């Protein structure tokens, strides 16, 4: 079964890699790039928020640091891939520096603390770099959307693969134990702080890579834009809509979020924020497992139905067996 799933995923990646050769509309390629970006961000956030159980509202800081470092190094003439890697590593360094003090807080206080840190960076970067960051003329002339597409696709595949292997490892089990009951995990010898820091570091690295790809993709933007709190809220919304603590949940949430957002922006404009807010509240109240939980409920309903059918058939089978037994007894008697 697992081999079949891996083959299906491989075929999907091959199909996605071949799409730029078939699709000629830049608008469609841009939409796919946006989906890949949000898959990266949602998957990165899910490692900390979904598996380790630490709800962060400050992931925009990691996204922004990755974008800022990549943009600055790239403009100085360094190759783009090392620049993106450096952006991811910078996000990890910052995460580990603030992780120790931040994890002294729990629950809603941790969420507020991470939001405050991200907001500090947002204001600071806006004051230091108030001018818009635009591509140089030589880079603008040689701009290729296909190169960006493959970059985002590669990082998205990498992010999902990291999440898959992490949560299926002993380390991932430790994270989930901390999520369920931190004190109980500590009593069993699982270091809560260590596992939360590892989850934070991996989550920040993936988010920083997404920021680096964002810096390479956009022609111009204000340096403080990637630090906006809206990015953190988008990550959280996608994960909870798709299904927190799952591999497919962030992917489903990202696709649903991007497609619905594009539709609403074109039809209702700024009111799309109200729609997303209402949708998020409804999911939290009535569909706590996210969209992916619908499939789980269908599977559970099928299992219950098969059990009921088996229970209904069992009395008939008993009658048949008793009739056969009585028939055999009469034959022996006569």
- The half-sphere exposure of 210 on its side-chain side, counting CA atoms within 13 A, is 35
Same domain, yes or no: 259 and 309: no
Same domain, yes or no: 154 and 297: no
- pLDDT confidence of residue 61: 96
How confident is the prediction along the chain (334 residues), in pLDDT tens digits per residue? 677 877 888 899 999 999 998 988 888 999 999 999 999 999 999 999 999 999 999 999 999 999 999 999 999 999 999 999 999 999 999 999 999 899 988 888 999 999 999 999 999 999 999 999 999 888 888 899 999 999 999 999 999 999 999 988 999 999 999 999 888 898 888 999 999 999 999 999 999 999 999 999 999 999 999 999 999 999 999 999 999 999 999 999 999 999 988 888 888 777 777 887 888 788 878 877 888 888 777 877 777 777 777 776 655 554 454 444 455 444 444 3
* Rounded (5°) CA angle 151-114-89: 35
Torsion angle defined by CA atoms of residues 155, 160, 165 and 169, in that order, rounded to the nearest 10 degrees: 120
- Residue 8, domain member (yes or no): no
**Domain that residue 300 falls in:** 292-334
Same domain, yes or no: 319 and 217: no
Same domain, yes or no: 83 and 115: yes
Domain count, the chain: 2
Buried b (16+ CB within 10 A) or exposed e, 241-262: bbbbbbbebbbbbbbbbbeebe
- Residue 223, domain member (yes or no): yes
Same domain, yes or no: 187 and 90: yes
Same domain, yes or no: 239 and 323: no
Q: Which two tokens stand for residue 180?
A: 């369920």
- Residue 151, domain member (yes or no): yes
Same domain, yes or no: 101 and 121: yes
């Amino acid at each position: 079964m697992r081999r079949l799933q891996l083959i299906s995923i491989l075929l999907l990646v091959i199909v996605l890699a071949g799409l730029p050769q078939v699709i000629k509309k830049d608008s469609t390629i841009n939409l796919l790039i946006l989906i890949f970006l949000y898959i990266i961000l949602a998957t990165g956030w899910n490692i900390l928020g979904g598996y380790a159980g630490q709800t962060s509202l400050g992931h925009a800081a990691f996204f922004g640091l990755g974008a800022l470092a990549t943009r600055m190094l790239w403009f100085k003439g360094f190759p783009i891939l090392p620049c993106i890697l450096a952006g991811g590593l910078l996000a990890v360094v910052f995460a580990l520096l603030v992780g120790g003090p931040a994890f002294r807080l729990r629950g809603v206080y941790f969420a507020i603390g991470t939001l405050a840190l991200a907001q500090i960076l947002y204001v600071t970067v806006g004051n230091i770099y108030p001018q818009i960051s635009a591509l140089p003329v030589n880079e603008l002339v040689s701009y290729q959307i296909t190169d960006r597409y493959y970059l985002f696709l590669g990082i998205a595949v990498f992010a999902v693969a990291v999440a898959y292997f992490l949560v299926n490892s002993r380390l991932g089990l430790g994270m989930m134990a901390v999520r369920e009951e931190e004190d109980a995990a500590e009593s069993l010898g699982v270091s809560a702080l260590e596992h939360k820091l590892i989850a934070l570091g991996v989550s920040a690295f993936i988010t920083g890579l997404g920021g680096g790809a964002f810096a390479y993709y956009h022609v111009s933007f204000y340096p403080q834009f990637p630090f906006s709190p809206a990015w953190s809220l988008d990550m959280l919304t996608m994960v909870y809509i798709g299904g927190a603590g799952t591999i497919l949940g962030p992917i489903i949430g990202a696709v649903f979020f991007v497609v619905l957002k594009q539709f609403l922006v074109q039809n209702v404009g700024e009111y799309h924020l109200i729609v997303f807010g209402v949708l998020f509240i409804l999911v939290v109240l009535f569909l706590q497992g996210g969209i992916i939980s619908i499939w789980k409920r269908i599977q559970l309903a099928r299992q219950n139905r098969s059990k009921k059918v088996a229970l209904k058939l069992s009395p008939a089978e008993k009658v048949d067996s008793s009739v056969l037994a009585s028939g055999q007894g009469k034959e022996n008697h006569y």
